[in-house]
Structure formats: C-alpha cells, structure tokens
Structure 1
Amino acid sequence: MTTLLQLLDTRAASEPDRVALIVPGAEPLTHGQWAERSRRAASGLVDRGVKPGDRVGLVFGAAAWPDYAVAFMAVLRAGAAAVPLSARLAPADLRFKLHHCDTVGVIHTGGAPDAPGWTARLDDLWGSAELPDPKPADLAQVLYTSGTTGSPKGVTATHANLVWGCGGRRRPFAHSRHLVHGFPIGTNAGQQMLINALDAHPAVVTLPWFTPDRFAALIETHRAGTVFLVPAMAIELLSARVHEEHDLSSVLLLGSAAAPLPGRVAADLCRVFPKATIANYYTSTEAAPAQTVMIYDPERPGSLGRAAAGSAVKIATADGEPLPSNSTGEVWMRSPVSRSYYGDQGSKVFQRGWVRMGDLGYLDEEGYLYLVDRESDVIKSGGFKVSTIQVEEAVYACPGVVEAAAVAIPHAMLGKAVMVAVVGSVTQKDLRIFLKDRLAAHELPVKVITVDSIPRNHNGKVDKRALREAVT
C-alpha cells in the first residue's frame, strides 16, 4: 500500500460492512461508509477551493471519532494535509496551531473556532467535484507536539510515513474482535489508533470521556482482546479497583504508550489483567513510526525494550556519535520513513534519518533501552545530576503511593534540589523513611508535598512545568 486512501478503499471493497470504529452514543462506522462519506466530503472540500498541499484543520471532540475519521480521510482525498486538533484545547493554543501551519479552513463539530479561512461542519461538505490522486511523498498530516518543553511544533508526515507497515497479509491484533483505547484526537497515539481502524483486524472502540469505570465497562461489554492506554489511565484503573466490578479476562494484550510505565504499575496490571501481556511502547511524534517495544519483564522492570522492525535506536552524543553499551547519552531513533518540522527544515532534531528524542538513556549489552531522564528534567543538584525517573520509581515502590512526580526546586546551597509531589495515603514522614535506604543522599527529596492530582497535558504526560509553577 502506498497511501491511506488505497488502504481504506481496498478494505471497503473487500469488507464494506465490517465495523471500523465504535463510540458509545454514535452510530458505528463501517469501512464502506468511511470510504463513501469521505469521497463526498472531499468533493465538497475541492468545491470550496481546497488544493493539493493545503492544510485543513480538524477540530473534533472525542465523542465524534467516527466523523473525525471521515473528515481526516476527506482532507487526504482532496490532496490536502490534515491538522488534527482536539476541541478541548484552549482557544489561544488552538489559534496558534491553526495560524502556525497556515490552514486554509477548519472542519469542526460545533462552536466554530477562531481560525484563518473558512469553517464548516462535516455535513456541510457534500459535493461532486473530481478528486486528485495523492502520491506517497505528498504531505498528509501536520501533528502538533504537546509543548511541555517549549512552544508546540508541527510535525509533518507524508502518506508513505503514515502507511508504513500497513497492508500486510496478517492484520495486526488478529487475536481480537475489538480493540479499546483511551487516546485523544490530536495526539500521535490517537492517530495510530485511527490507522489501526483502517488496517487492523479488530474494530476500534473508544469513549467520549475517560473514567475508570466507563473504560472498564467498555472492555467488558465488547470482550476486548486488546487495550491501549497511557500510564495515568492505568493508575486510575488500578486505584478505582475496576477489576472487582468488571470482567477484564478477555484482554490478551495491554499496551501502554506516551510515557514510561512505572515498574510497580506494570506489575499491578499483570495481576488485574490476568491473561494479558503487558507491553510498553516508546516513540515520539517526531520519530513515528519508529518505536521500541518491551514486554513487561520483572528482571528488566525499567527497560523500554529493543527497536521494533524497521526502527533503530542508538545512544549518542549531541552530534550523533554512537556511545558504547552502558554509557549514558542522548537517545536517538531512526525511522524507516522520516518526518520533519513544519517550516523548519534545518532543525537539529532530525539528522540524516535519525531523530533526537530529547531523552537521556543507555543501552545494555543485549540492546535493551533504559531511560535515565528527560534531558530537560535532569536535576543538577550541587555537583550531581539526579534522574527524576529514578526518584519516581523509588517513590512508586512505597506502599500508599498512587501517583508521584519529581521536579527541581531552587535551593540556597545546592542551586537545585529534588521535590516530590505525591498522590496517595502515605504520610510524608513514612515516605522519607522508606526512601532513605533506596536513594543516594543527593537524590533524596528536600521537600515532599501531598496533592490531589498530578497535572498532565492533553497527551497524558506529566506537565512538570505546571507542577513547578503550582508549588513554587
């Protein structure tokens, strides 16, 4: 397959009545409906003047996944590039992204955003214009990063990038009739679920708003064999003890993405999903479809695994020079089909097919990847560098801890020191005693606070900048 359009049309021709997407409260979307509706909407876009290479914003809420899927493919059929954005974004953030990539118009579900060009609902776009024939190298998508370490960046992907690995004889997740996920529209993980709806064996099921009980009920109702979530969702499921109210025995694969899965959380998931293989996926919006995959192994609880087929990973200097095993350096990944930043071809993130991930880590002798920390999160305390990931792993191991995050705070003598925010019933005194023999002196938190929740961004990652601002 060379484009997602060919993938959908082939599936629609062979299995027109097979359900592709399910959202409670909405009509299921079949592959046949998906193809036909996207053709009509694409003609409507061309009638509005959309030309090959234009960017079209898609502002949709999670309850409208089926319509979003139609709109996404309609934009591609019109020869344009889709800019997926969640309707939950702040108006200023939405405005910035729509203007940054010069969108010519926006398709939305209601409450037209402040945007350049025209705005329209999906149902307004039926037309009859002749459609172009996009090529594999054409721009298909501009997807924005979360912006936790700076301004959000638009990451471009071609048709060839999005379709890479699709169209094989054996469809992914063939053990499942249904795949349940909790990823939002406008995220890299959410886009992968959209591609799964096109290419994978199971129907893809999601819900308008994540709550632990609703998510577990969705798994039980559909007897889902495959589940994808982010660590924050996994923690909520465990805390709510949903396994006591819902039958989760159908799950054979549980995948976690978007952030490292703490070892204790992975071990608890093994108990709650007794038949499931727990897999941790590591990638980024810039590096996709490259990724590493790690099947949870108690002997390697902190590893993110090895590079998946078609991908490569190395530990290197800032200039890309490889470092030997067990040496800490920058994590680099190589994708089989590269992406880039919109309007910034000279970025140092993309170099000769390799992508700087912004993380520090190391590879062991067998090629397993371990993260030391996000480069921007490393705490330089006195003469030492402290890994917040290592601190958080130790905190998670303490009984009574539900969630935890470590950040740097100013210190009069050391410059910076460790602060830990904790959700749970553990007392600050008991946590300090627990950590005393598990962390080095320079890693011990000088401040521990108990909070109701850890701030997270739209992608489900801990927003450490927001946490620091809230407590300092």
Structure 2
Amino acid sequence: MAFNLATILRESARTHPQHPALLFDGSVVSYAELDAASDRFAVGLLARGLVPGDVVGLQLPNVPQFVVAYFGILKAGCVVVPMNVLFKAGEIGYILADSGARMLITWAGAAEEAAKGAADAGVQGLVVLNPPGTPPAGVGRPFEQLLANPVPGRPPLHQTDPGDTAVIVYTAGTTGRPKGAELTHFQLFMNADTPGRLFGARDDDVALVVLPLFHVFGLAVLVNVFTRFAATMSLLPRFEPAKVLEAVQRDRVTVFMGVPTMFVTLNGQPDKDSYDLSSLRLCVSGGAPIPAEVIDEFERTFGVVILEGYGLSETAATVTFNVSEQERRIYSVGKPIYGVEVEIWDEQNEVLPPGQEHVGEVVVRGIDVMQGYHGKPEATAEVFTDGWFRTGDLGYVDEDGFFFVVDRKKDLIIRGGYNVYPREIENVLCTHPAVAQAAVVGVPDELLGQEVKAYLELRAGLRATEDELIQFVKERVASYKYPRSVEFREHLPINAAGKIVKREL
C-alpha cells in the first residue's frame, strides 16, 4: 500500500482545476497552477540530488511559495521541517543538524542568519526566495531555479508508505532544546479529513490564513484541511488586526482560525464595526486555552460562533473539537475526534472519573499521535506510558464526555500546599473591563513555596490599579488563589504563533 499526503492537492486540482487555491496580495493561484508549480519544484529537488527520505527545512512566511515548496517536497518523497522565520543562526543550525536536513529553503529576510545556521550544520543546499522588487540575498540558489525544470512524463508523486514520516514539527522548546515530532502521511491526512468534515469544510469556503504556516496549527488545520476540500486560502504574512478585517471584507472570508491573542486583539480593535464581516460563518480557536470572556465578547461583537479545539504538535494538531454551535459545550475543547481516545489520569496513572473536581493529566492515544521524537528514543519513552501519550496538560472531563483543559502541568502553582491553576485566575482577570490580556505565574516564596503573581496588559485608553485588580479577583475566588501582586506591561510577550510566553515573565 502506498499513500502520499500530496494526493490531497493532486485530487483537488483534478476536480477543481480552475478554482482559486490561494489569494495573496491581489494575485490568484488556481488549484491547477498550484499543482503544476509543486510538480516542477519536486523535479527541481530531485534534479539537485535529493532522494526520497531526505529532510528539507522550510523557512518561509505565509506566501504562495511556502505552499508550492511544501507540496513539492512531499511529492519528491522528502520530509518537510517547517521552521520559524524569526529564528537566529544558532536555532536554525540546531534544527538542521538535529533533523539531518540536506537542504534549507528560506527567504531574503532571513538569508543571513539562515546561511550561518546552514554552514554550522554542514548543510550546503541553501535556496533563497527573493520577493519581487528586492535585491538578491547574495547567498544560496534562487527559489525560482527549482521551478525552472520541465516535468518529464508523469508528474512526480513518490509512492511513500502511509506510515512514512511526512513532516517533522519541532516543539517550542519551553523545557530545554526543541524536539522534532515525526508525523506521518496518514496521520496528517486523517487530521485534514476528519476535522474538515466535523466543521463542514466546503469548496466554496474562503479561509483566512494568518496563523504562521511553520506552526502545526497553520500547516495541518489550515493548509491541509482546506486543500483536502478544495477551498480557497487567503494568505496574510502577519497578524495585523486592521489587515485581517480588511481581508475578511475584501475576500469574503467564511472561516477564520486563530489563537486566543488574535481574538483578544480583534475584540479591542476600535473601528471593527466599520467592516462588513457578514461572510464569516465560523471561527476556530486553538493553540492555547481561550478565556471565556474573550469568547463571549467576540460572539456578541461579531455575531459568529467560536468553536474551540485542542491539540499539540505531537498529535498532528487535533485531539478534540467542538463540532458545531448546536452540539458544542461552550468553554470546553470538545470531544475526541474519530480514531482518538482521551483520558484523564491521576499521579498513579489511574483513570479519574468525570467531574470538575477530578483534575488530572490529559493522555491521548490513536491515529493522530506522533511516531516519536526524531532521533530521541529516551525523550520519546518519557512521554509514553503503555501506548498513551502524556500531554503535560491538566484537565477534566464532564459527564457528557466534553473535555476541559485547565492548564499546563508545569504551570501549576502550589501555594502553601494548595493547587492554583493560572488559567482560572487569568479568566477572572479578563472579565475586568480594563484588562486585555493576563498571564498568571508562580513566584518563589520562602513561607508558602510559591506565591501568585499576575502580569497584565490593559486595553487602550483604560486604567486600573494593582489594588483594584487584586480586590477584583479576591471577591471571585477562594482566598488562596488571588494574586498578591500585579505587574503591568505595555505588551505581554508572545511568540510567532501568538501564544503568551510565560517563561519570559
């Protein structure tokens, strides 16, 4: 048996050849054009000595060439390693060396750091995308050269095994060096087909793609899903609220997927009412827990439902999902998708019963769980118990089978022997009218072990004092939970995927 994930593009090009696949900066790329360009790219890779199984780093922003290269690498039978465009030379070199990459595809804005990183890793194949109107980077081979080869005879589509690795997604590395989660062709196909069917992806959908494509959320839940269903993707290189709203209006976007910080920012956009957003039928939040107040305000303001899901790099993006407005359990992350089992375990690896009072670690097994961390059998063994993947997240399940994620296990604050879940306190803080975003952390305390501290970003033009906010939370939670100190920041630190980075606080 053979199956290559790039089949989703080949099939959509066969059934919808002239249908728009990509919208970008006023240009349109049809499915036939995208399929043909990725064919030429695959031929270009093979002509330069790559063979099936070779690893290729892909470090591009949200531009059509990312999608062309992604499917071209897969068609050649090679393995894709998506990489953050903001990485410095040391980070680039580490991932290239750790993954065993033979080539790096980058862009002019990152070329200098990429060249250093590639040299450190001993990677000689460097391909650079120079945007129109910009001078050549001066290093590497131009991206266009890999598109110059004609396709001889049958278009390339290497017959990989469904269990072969298609993509290696590197984790954020919050606890040490990043690790590469190996995801297979079949896993990524199932995580395109199943979620897409759950929320009713259609060929007349227009999905806004502002999540970075080097992140598993953007790659697996946007590119793969909407290519599978021959929908149109409107690409934006970065999240800017005004440009997002403009794109929704201009391209008649029907589906918007984002991380919580994006919804927070859109809620606070002062001129949001001046845009025609009537085309939106669905919003999806993932990547991190979204505060309940953010959901409520967004749905009141924009009149479109947010369906929340849950997943990780190690699970090909999706574990649970709320299917629809009618079937969802608001504030939960939904139920397990097809072929996936989820349980809540205590410290003795015993399954906990349903109920909010039974918080434990979320564990997963099924078709979406990675093969393992690339080249790291010991790290892989640490996160698996009897075939179950230990997510490191804390949560509970209710009587109806809906799961709720409470927090990261490593973020749990133990104050004087009592467990404090930062997300709970963050949700309370976000109900204050002056608070835009909140991050709650534990800080060392000689008497209690840890004390609760809140970092806050206020809404533009609004003010609140430390005492006021402490009292606000104190009136709404048990006495051991409320923060004893508050620090205001103009902006909370977020990473390229839009998540708040607590370790920087």
Q: TM-score, normalised by structure 2?
A: 0.86
Give secondary structure in 1 for the equivalent of 2:411.
coil
For 1:442, what is the secondary structure of its paired residue? coil
Which deviates more from structure 2 when the two are superposed, residues 210-219 or residues 418-427? 418-427
Distance 2:282 2:471 in 1: 37
Map of 1:187 onto structure 2 = 215
State the match for 1:401 in structure 2. 435
Q: Distance in 1 between matches of 2:4 and 2:417?
A: 52
Matches within 5 A, 1:322-341: 322-326=351-355, 327-339=358-370, 340-341=372-373
How many equivalent residue pairs? 463
Quote the Cα distance in structure 2 between the aligned partners of 1:77 and 1:153.
Answer: 25
Q: Deviations over 1:149-186 (max 9, x none)?
A: 33211111111111115569979422853111320121
For the 8 Å contact 1:23–1:208, the answer to whether it is kept is: no
1:84-104 CA deviation, whole Å, 9 max, x = no partner? 113222332222111111101
Check 1:167–1:61 CA distance in 2 against 1; reply closer, same or farther (3 A cut).
Answer: closer
Alpha-carbon distance change, 368 to 177 in structure 1, aligned in 2, over 3 angstroms = closer
The equivalent of 1:470 in structure 2 is none
Alpha-carbon offset, residue 300 of structure 1: 5.6
Counterpart for residue 12 of structure 2: 11
Q: 1:176 to 1:78 in 2, by over 3 A?
A: closer
Contact residue 311 and residue 334 of structure 1 kept, 8 A: yes
Q: What is the CA–CA distance in structure 2 between the aligned matches of 1:299 and 1:310, rounded to whole Å?
A: 19
Instruction: Label 1:299 to 1:282 Cα distance change in 2 as closer, same or farther (>3 A).
Output: closer
> How far apart are 1:253 and its partner, in Å?
0.5
SS of aligned partner of 2:103: strand
Consecutive unaligned residues of structure 1, counting only runs of 5 or more, are 468-472
1:362-416 deviations in Å (ceiling 9; x for gaps): 1111112122221000011112111101111111112211111101112232121
Matched, 1:151 2:157: no
Asked if the contact 1:146–1:458 (Cα under 8 Å) also holds between the matched residues in 2, the reply is no
Specify which of 404, 421, 430 is matched with residue 370 of structure 1: 404
The answer to whether the 8 A contact 2:457-2:490 is kept is yes
What do the CA deviations read for 1:276-335 (whole angstroms, capped 9, x no partner)? 221011110102254212367999654222212222211014564322222221101223
Please give the alpha-carbon distance, in whole angstroms, between the structure 2 residues aligned to 1:15 and 1:175: 9
Superposition pairs for residues 160-309 of structure 1, below 5 Å? 160-164=186-190, 166=192, 172-174=200-202, 176-192=204-220, 193-274=222-303, 276-294=304-322, 301-309=330-338
- Separation in structure 1 between the aligned mates of residue 151 and residue 209 of structure 2, nearest angstrom: 36
Instruction: Give the SS at the match of 2:468.
Output: helix
Give the Cα–Cα distance (whole angstroms) in 1 for the partners of residues 193 and 364 of structure 2.
Answer: 24
Distance 1:440-1:318 versus aligned 2 partners, 3 A rule: closer
Deviation at 1:21, TM superposition (A): 1.5
What is the DSSP-based 3-state SS (H/G/I as helix, E as strand, rest coil) of the residue aligned with 1:314? strand
Q: CA deviation at 1:35?
A: 1.4
> Is the 8 Å Cα contact of residues 379 and 386 (structure 1) preserved in structure 2?
yes
Judged with a 3 Å threshold, the aligned counterparts in structure 2 of structure 1 residues 408 and 297 are, in CA distance, closer, same or farther, namely: farther
Query: Secondary structure, in 3 states, of the residue corresponding to 1:38?
Result: helix
Q: Is the 8 A contact 1:144 1:186 kept in 2?
A: no
Deviation per CA, 1:68-110, whole angstroms, max 9, x where unpaired?
A: 1111111112111011113222332222111111101112222
- C-alpha distance in structure 1 between counterparts of 2:336 and 2:236, whole Å: 31
Q: Provide the alpha-carbon RMSD of the alignment.
A: 2.4
Deviates more, 1:5-14 or 1:278-287: 5-14
Which of the numbers 338, 362, 383 marks the counterpart of 1:349?
Answer: 383
The answer to whether the aligner puts 1:432 opposite 2:470 as a matched pair is yes
Preserved CA contact (<8 Å) 1:388 1:407: yes
Q: Secondary structure at the match of 2:248?
A: helix
Whole-angstrom distance in 2 between the partners of 1:49 and 1:456: 39
The letter of the residue matching 1:39 is D
Query: 125, 140, 144: which is aligned to 1:123?
Result: 144
Instruction: Tell me: CA distance 1:53–1:351, structure 2 relative to 1, closer, same or farther (3 Å).
Output: farther
Q: Secondary structure of 2:313's partner? A: coil
Distance, in Å, in 1 between the alignment partners of 2:325 and 2:200 is 20
CA contact (8 A) 2:191 2:316 kept: no
Structure 2 unpaired stretches of 5+: 129-142
Matches of 2:256 and 2:193, distance apart in 1: 22
Task: Name the structure 2 match of 1:462.
Answer: 500
Cα distance change on mapping 1:463 and 1:165 into 2, 3 Å = closer
For the residues of structure 2 that align with 1:298 and 1:269, how far apart are their CA atoms?
19
Q: What amino acid is aligned across from residue 94 of structure 2 in structure 1?
A: F
Closer, same or farther in 2 for the Cα pair 1:436/1:91, shift >3 Å? same
Rounded Cα–Cα distance in structure 2 between residues aligned with 1:34 and 1:353: 39
- Are the counterparts in 2 of residues 47 and 129 from structure 1 also a CA contact under 8 Å? no
Which residue type is aligned with residue 422 of structure 2?
A: T
Q: Distance in 1 between matches of 2:454 and 2:218?
A: 30
- For 1:439 and 1:361, the matched residues in 2 are separated by 19
Q: Tell me the amino acid that sits aligned with residue 157 of structure 1.
A: L
- Farther off after superposition, 82-91 or 129-138: 129-138
2:82 partner SS: strand
Among 136, 143, 148, the alignment partner of 2:162 is 136
TM-score, normalised via structure 1 length: 0.92
Matched, 1:386 2:408: no
Amino acid at match of 1:344: K
Partners in 2 of 1:410 and 1:317 — Cα distance?
26
CA 1:288–1:175: 2 relative to 1, 3 Å: same
Contact 2:165/2:185 (<8 A) preserved: yes
Aligned residue in 1 for 2:133: none
Q: Is the 8 A contact 2:308 2:331 kept in 1?
A: no
Distance 1:283 1:100 in 2: 24
- Paired AA for residue 50 in structure 1: L
Question: Aligned residues: percent identity?
Answer: 30
User: Aligned AA for 2:374?
Assistant: Y
Q: What is the CA–CA distance in structure 2 between the aligned matches of 1:452 and 1:165, rounded to whole Å?
A: 38
2:350 aligned residue (313, 321, 335): 321
How far, CA to CA, are the matches of 1:384 and 1:308 in structure 2? 34
Quote how far apart the aligned CAs of 1:206 are.
2.4
Q: Which moved more, 1:176-185 or 1:222-231?
A: 176-185
Q: Residue 449 of structure 2 is aligned with which of 415, 423, 427?
A: 415
Distance in 2 (CA, whole Å) between partners of 1:297 and 1:230 is 22
Q: Could you tell me which of 470, 477, 482 is aligned with 1:444?
A: 482
C-alpha deviation, 1:242, in angstroms: 4.1
Query: After TM superposition, where is structure 1 displaced by more than 4 Å over at least 4 residues in a row?
Result: 128-131, 165-172, 295-301
CA distance in 2, matches of 1:183, 1:174: 20
Matched, 1:54 2:54: yes
